[in-house]
Amino acid sequence: MKKSNSILEELKIDWGGINMMYQIKLIPIQTIIVRNRIRQDLGDIDELSNSIKQVGLLQPIGVNKNNILIFGQRRLEAIKKLGWKEIPSIILEVGYE
């Protein structure tokens, strides 16, 4: 496994005046900040944990540069149940010209 905070992938896009950059990094789970979420019922986290245990994490979670969760709360909770210390995360930054 790669060292924490190492960049696994990086992409920069200029899309009609919107500049987007994202990186995929392994980040420590304890550094992720979860704020109020629209979705209150997370469903069957045990089932998702079992799936991740069997086939792996297919989609990283998404956070901003301050490690505030943008998407993937169910995956994050499932990974916590499995005892992982780090999770692959898409770090999103969007700017406008």
Beta-strand ranges (E) seen in the chain are 7-15, 18-28, 61-64, 69-71, 86-96
Residue reference for tokens 């790669």: 2
pLDDT tens, position by position, for the chain (97 residues)?
Answer: 444 556 677 777 776 777 777 789 999 999 999 988 777 778 899 999 999 999 999 999 999 989 999 999 999 999 999 999 999 999 987 655 4
CATH topology of domain 7-96: 3.90.1530
20 within 8 A of 13, measured Cβ to Cβ: yes
* DSSP secondary structure letters along 45-60: HHHHHHHHHHH---S-
